[in-house]
Amino acid sequence: MALSALDLFSIGIGPSSSHTVGPMRAAARFVAGLRRQSSLRQVQRVTVQLHGSLAATGVGHGTDRAVVLGLTGADPETIDVTAAFEQFDEICDRRRLMLDGAHPIEFDPDVNVEFHRKPLPRHPNGLRFIAYDASGAALAETESYSVGGGFVVDKDDGERLGADEVAVPHPFATAEELLAQCTRTGGSIAEVMLANEAAFRPEAETRAQLLRIWAVMQECVENGCTRDEKFLPGRLQVRRRAPELRRKLRAHEAAERARTGTMSDPLWAMEWVNLYALAVNEENASGGRVVTAPTNGAAGIVPAVLHYFTRFVDGADEAAVVDFLLTAAAIGILFKEGASISGAEVGCQGEVGSACSMAAAGLCAVLGGAPVQVENAAEIGIEHNLGLTCDPVGGLVQVPCIERNAIASVKAINAARLAMQGDGDHRVGLDAAIRTMRQTGRDMKSKYKETSRGGLAVNVVEC
């Protein structure tokens, strides 16, 4: 059983992989089951129950909209983002939806989507779907969990959440095992990952899909920099910064190059890194199309660091982009296997912390780092995010989430550069850091884990 790089990097919509993408997939999976059982046409009513963190911050994350659209058969990778908002509004107005896009039923989101603060036993992000026939008898019932990064598992799934039934040639679940595979094969982390990906699909297809992921990341940055709306959706009225920031950076860069022929500020690249991260996360916060990396809440970090690499580092090409993403995915797998990437389970250390570690590893690899240096970069990236809480103000992925991605992106670059100055020999290993993250998450009070009941969420006055 193994995870693929394309499990860690998947295309979806904002604002949350666990609260939007996962619930939409869970709902679509439920109606697909009804279709397979030939009971779809018998359904007269459907009830959706959101539990735990999904209930606490579901409205701010668009969970209600996601499950309703999922019931129509919508898929987060292919859904028309603009049309989705209009479709949801129409369902609310008409109190009627097309189940699986084919069978009309009465459905009022204010009534048929229920919010229950008490979590289900297995994970803080629990969902229940119940379909009833004309007599009121239950036709089907499913209990699902959105476990982070868009992964969805059902109640009866095995303990290893989200893993596929695929045997790979170089299995690993820890950093120690990953480094041992590199030593045994004589290859880099990216080469080990690429060989494993061949168990899922041909190499050419893997490269093509990873480059598509990169294209969507670039498109996301561009969209975030060109939106006309002044404010992000929601009652916080958070102002978009990316469009104006890019205009300022371009104007200053043009003026400076015209005056001196170069950029004299030694930290000029960091201005652009901040922009890339802000653009992605503002796009995510507005429900746009993003790439989970490994989650939506942390979706700006890997793209920001990868944009830094392709723009400011000589020799960057498509092959290096693929190596970056493969390396980052390998580190993401370690976090998914050894701890969690769910903010509702371990706090934001599992989202921004994991993403920072992944981006640091990816950058270190394409800068020429040996596997031990890459592991060191990943460890630095997570070590200095340990204990990070998930405390979205107003239940929205805006404050502190957007700016937090920018800071973590710069931190990832610094982690990679610091690791490159060493020989890979360091006191704290990545496995120890991941264990610490898991233990810290268990000890963390639930109010600091995506419930909006602690931290900044209660100390920042909403406007």
Helix axes 371-383, 352-366, angle to 10 degrees: 150
Report how far residue 359's alpha carbon sits from residue 332's, in angstroms, rounded to the nearest whole number. Answer: 10
CB-CB neighbours of 229 under 10 Å = 11
Q: Classify residue 138 as exposed, middle or buried by CB count within 10 Å of its CB (0-12, 13-18, 19+).
A: exposed
Cα separation, 70 vs 299, whole angstroms: 22
- Interatomic CA distance for residues 459 and 134, integer angstroms: 48
Name the token pair of 22.
Answer: 């996962």
- Tell me, what's the pLDDT at 155? 85
Set out the domains of the chain in order of their start, with CATH numbers. 16-154 (3.30.1330.90), 175-199+201-459 (no CATH)
DSSP 390: B
Strand partners, 275: none
Please give the DSSP secondary-structure letter assigned to residue 240: P
For residue 165, the model assigns a pLDDT of 72
Could you tell me which residues come within 8 angstroms of residue 116 by beta carbon, excluding any fewer than 6 positions away? 49, 50, 51, 52, 55
Q: In 3-141, which ranges are continuous DSSP H helix?
A: 5-8, 22-36, 53-56, 58-61, 63-71, 81-94, 109-112
Q: Determine which helix (DSSP H) or strand (DSSP E) holds 220, and give its type and residue range.
A: helix 203-226
SS3 assignment, position 47: strand
Count Cβ atoms within 10 A of the Cβ of residue 415 and give its class: 0-12 exposed, 13-18 middle, 19 or more buried: buried
pTM, full prediction: 0.94
Smallest CA-to-CA distance from 19 within 285, 212, 282, 205 is with 285
Closest CA to 294 of 220, 354, 206: 354
DSSP of 179-190: HHHHHHHT--HH
Give the chain's residues under pLDDT 50.
159-163, 463
Q: What is the pLDDT of residue 1?
A: 60
Q: Give the CA-trace dihedral at 317, 321, 327, 333, to 10 degrees.
A: -170
Q: Residue 19 gets which letter from DSSP? A: I
